[in-house]
Structure formats: structure tokens, C-alpha cells
Amino acid sequence: MSQKSNIHFDISERKVLLRLFDIASVLALLYLVGIVFNFDYFKINKDHWVWSIVLGIYLTIFATIFELYNLQKASKFEVVVQNIILTSSVTVLFYLLTPFFTPELPANRLQIIYFYISVNLALFVWRYAYIVLISAPRFFKKVMLVANADDVDIIISSLQKSDPNYKVVGFINTGSSAYVGYDQKELQEFSLDNVANTVSERSISEIVVATPHSDGMTVSLYNQLISLLENGVAIREYTQVYEEITRRVPVQHVDKDFYRYFPFSRSNQNKLYLFFHRILDLLFSALGLLFGMIIFPIILIGNIFANRGPLFYTQIRVGKNGKHFRIYKLRSMVTDAEKDGAQYAEKRDTRVTKFGRFLRRSRFDEIPQFINVIKGDMSVIGPRPERPVFVKELSEKIPFYEVRHLVKPGVTGWAQVNANYGTSHEDTLEKLQYDLYYIKRRSLFLDISIVIKTLSTIIFFRGQ
């Protein structure tokens, strides 16, 4: 079978591409500026190779914090411009403040301006080229879906929302009902007769099977997929693709095959990882409480004049293995917020005071939780601890909800930095998917990613 050439980049490939070319473009322009102009602050040669490495590290860290590697935002130039300016400003500032590993401050301060402009210009030019070329439709990953017609729109929406370059061009209906979706105008329904020809004509890169083997997977279709697989066409199961693209576990598609599907991270039993995790918990908690003491006068004044009531409040929450503990927080609601009984906090909850809204959006209200971390009730990173009454309610409605309690709850977590705020069944399910992904893939690298994303949440004032 001859197949048309179709160039595309997976999520991991595009993120690596962005990181490498960010660094390469900045270093290349600085090298060029050093040759053309009288610029001697930053030199690229064998005697000063450490300077380039430190700049590359700073650039990667702060570009991650300011979301330059968020693929949804990386394709929007107006958003990229803002994030480039933030990234380059903080990168240059930190670079200037670490002279032991970087060049000494120049006598001519204009050199710093040249350095700053060069970093910005290099990133602007390269990122514009990325948007025009790499994010263009010709580099989309073209996908064929094998699924029941009733599930097509939901599946496509979940995949393309997370990765705009992942393009489902059509589907094979394995169900009995006809497709009546209206959201995907360019979506085509392909015939079962000759799948190989369809794959070749439409330059399909991947086939995603999202139907149970006992539901619509005929012998003819099965044999055609096997033949395509032997000819080098990628064929993958939907839950695997969903987890890779969205970085969530699709619990709604797992059914009861729980233990086969969730090979939980070995880090959950790795004593060395758990030891260093605990050390980092104590270190971050000490830093968090120190920061809290520094800003305490501001919080105290704000509470006296805006909140007018107790500064702290406590609640019973559910921790690891279902054990209850008392959580500490700064009060952000009116004093009689739950006079009618326990209720979820809404996105624009009228019970939240004006100063309390500031505490929530800045996430300063969670600083006292570091006391819980030191006591061992919580970790810095983990699922959000819920109240017993809500845990009981959600466990009855959502499958695998109790799995969240296999690890300690956290001050921040994968769900907190990724999921949208909300209290609907869909919002809670989405948060659970992120929590289970963390439990399944728990690692030092993922912990670092969550810390960096948390910094982004604080910096962009997106606390909930």
C-alpha cells in the first residue's frame, strides 16, 4: 500500500522543538550581535561555555512558568507576545543577578539593553515562524476514528481541545445509529469497504479505536486494521491516546477493569522517592511559612478592615486512606458562610469577601496548610482534600473517586493547576481524571512540573 507523505509533530516533539529552538535562536542572535556590533557582555566561545548553558536553563525554566510551552497558547501570537516579554524580562533579570555563573555587569549599561532586545527579538522571530509554519494545517496530525456514532463528537472534542494540531478528519461508525452531530462540519463518515484506500487517499497518520471489541468490531474490520498495522499505520486504543494528549485518566471509559488499567506509579512504594518527597515537603513548607510571616502584616490589616472577623478557620477533611484531619486556612468567606449547612463554593460565590477573593486568587489563603504538611496530614503536591460529606456524595456518583485517597492530599496538585473551577458533575469528573493521572504517573519530574505550573497560577492570578 502506497501512502502519501504526511509530516506531523506529536505533542512531545513540538514541546522539545519549542525548547530547543528558543535556546538556539537566542544564542544565534546573540552570537550575531557580538560579531556585527561592539557587544562584549555576552560571548559564545570555548572559554565561556557556562554562560550559554546558564542562559539556556534560565530561559527554559521561565518560559515554562510563563506558559510559552502551552501548545494551545503557543499558536496564538497575541498571547505569545505577552509571555515572551515576561519570560525575557525575568530571564535577563536573573541572569544579571548571578554574576558568578554569568558575565560581570558591563561598564557600559547599554550592553544590557542590547542583551535584552536580542533575547526578545530572537524569541519573537522564531515563535512567529512557528505559528506560521509548524502550527499550519499542513502539519496537523490527521486521524481516523473507529467509534460508535453517538460518541464521536464527545471524543473529538476532548482530543482536539487539548491538542489543536490533532485533527480527526473522519470516522468509521461501528454502532447501529446514524451520526447526527453538528459540531464537526468537515468531519466525514468513511465506509467499511476499503479502509486501506481511505487511509492512503486522506493521508491518515493514525487510527484511533474507541469502540469495545464486542461492540461493532466485525471480523472484516478487524482484519483490515491488522493489515494496516502490518503496513506501518499507527493504530492505538482511545484511552491510551486520551491519556497521552489530555494528561488525564479517562475513568468514564475504564468500566470495571480497574486493576488492569491502573498500573500505579512505582513511586508510590519507592522509599527513596518518598524520602526525598518528604524532605521537599518540609523544605517548601518552611519557605512557605517564612513567606507567610513576611506578608502577615498585610494580611492582618486586610482582614481587620475587609474581612472583619477571625483570621483563620479550620475544617475536617479526608486524607490518605480515608483518615480525617483538621485543615488550616485563612478565612476568605463571611463568618456565617455555612449557616444553612455544608455547600460547595461557587466560582463567583457571594459568600466570599472582597479581600477573601484576593486571598483565593493569589492562593495566599492556603499558606497555613503548610502546617498540615509539616504535621504529616498533607503533602505539598497531591489531590485536593475534600470534606467527608462531599467525599461520601461524590463516591456514590463518580467511579473510582476513593482512589484519590491512596496518596496524601496536597496544597497544590495536577488537578488544581489544570482543571477549571466548578462544582458540576463534569467538573468533578475532570478533576478526578487529573488526580488519577498524577497517582498513576507520580514522579519527581511531574512534581517539578506541578510546582512550576503553580507558580504560573500565582503569577497570572488564576487561583480559585
Cα torsion through 390, 394, 400, 403, rounded to 10: -10
Cα–Cα distance measured from residue 162 to residue 73, given in angstroms and rounded to the nearest whole number: 11
Contact 386, 317 (CB under 8 A): yes
Question: What mean pLDDT, rounded, does the chain reach?
Answer: 84
Percent of the chain whose predicted confidence (pLDDT) is above 90 = 31
In 129-279, beta strands by DSSP E: 141-147, 166-173, 188-189, 206-209, 234-237
Q: What is the model's pTM?
A: 0.80
User: Judging by DSSP bridges, how do beta strands 206-209 and 234-237 pair with one another?
Assistant: parallel
User: Cβ neighbours of residue 73 under 8 Å, at least 6 residues apart?
Assistant: 67, 79, 80, 83
The residues spanned by each domain of the chain are: 11-134, 140-246, 266-459
Cell output for 323 = 483518615
| Whether pLDDT at 35 is above 90 | no
Mean pLDDT of 424-442: 86
Look at residue 326 and give its three-state secondary structure: strand
Cα–Cα distance measured from residue 435 to residue 416, given in angstroms and rounded to the nearest whole number: 9
Percent of the chain whose predicted confidence (pLDDT) is above 70 = 86
Q: State pLDDT tens for residues 160-190.
A: 777 777 888 889 988 777 787 655 567 888 8
pLDDT at 381: 95
Q: State pLDDT tens for residues 304-321.
A: 888 888 889 899 999 999
Cell output for 8 = 506531523
How many CA atoms within 13 Å lie on the side-chain side of 257? 7
Mean pLDDT of 378-392: 93
| Whether pLDDT at 413 is above 90 | yes
User: Cβ neighbours of residue 355 under 8 Å, at least 6 residues apart?
Assistant: 302, 303, 305, 306, 307, 332
pLDDT at 1: 47
Cα–Cα distance measured from residue 187 to residue 171, given in angstroms and rounded to the nearest whole number: 8
pLDDT at 48: 83
| Whether pLDDT at 109 is above 50 | yes
pLDDT at 160: 76
pLDDT at 108: 80
Q: Which amino acid is present at 94? A: F
Q: Which residues pair with 207 in a beta bridge?
A: 144, 235
Q: State pLDDT tens for residues 400-412.
A: 888 889 899 999 9
Cell output for 402 = 476513593
| Whether pLDDT at 122 is above 90 | yes
- pLDDT band at 458; cut points 50, 70, 90: confident
- pLDDT band at 339; cut points 50, 70, 90: low
Q: Which amino acid is present at 9? A: F
Which range, 49-63, 134-148, 338-352, is most confident? 49-63
Instruction: Please state the length of the chain.
Output: 464
Neighbours of 162 (CB within 10 A): 17
Neighbours of 223 (CB within 10 A): 11
pLDDT at 6: 55
pLDDT at 338: 64
Look at residue 299 and give its three-state secondary structure: helix
Q: Which amino acid is present at 15? A: K
pLDDT at 2: 47
453 vs 343, more confident: 453
Contact 167, 142 (CB under 8 A): yes
Q: Which residue has cell 503557543? A: 74
Mean pLDDT of 1-7: 50
Contact 26, 222 (CB under 8 A): no
Least confident of 132-136, 192-196, 258-262, 390-394: 258-262
CATH class of 140-246: alpha beta
Contact 11, 245 (CB under 8 A): yes
Whole-Å CA distances, 119 to 59, 128, 283, 424:
10, 14, 33, 44
Backbone angles phi, psi at 254, to 5 degrees: -85, -25
Least confident of 93-107, 177-191, 423-437: 177-191
pLDDT at 375: 96
Cα–Cα distance measured from residue 437 to residue 224, given in angstroms and rounded to the nearest whole number: 33
Look at residue 2 and give its three-state secondary structure: coil
377 vs 342, more confident: 377
pLDDT at 7: 55
pLDDT at 463: 56
| Whether pLDDT at 76 is above 50 | yes
Radius of gyration for the alpha carbons in the chain, expressed in angstroms and rounded = 26
- pLDDT band at 8; cut points 50, 70, 90: low
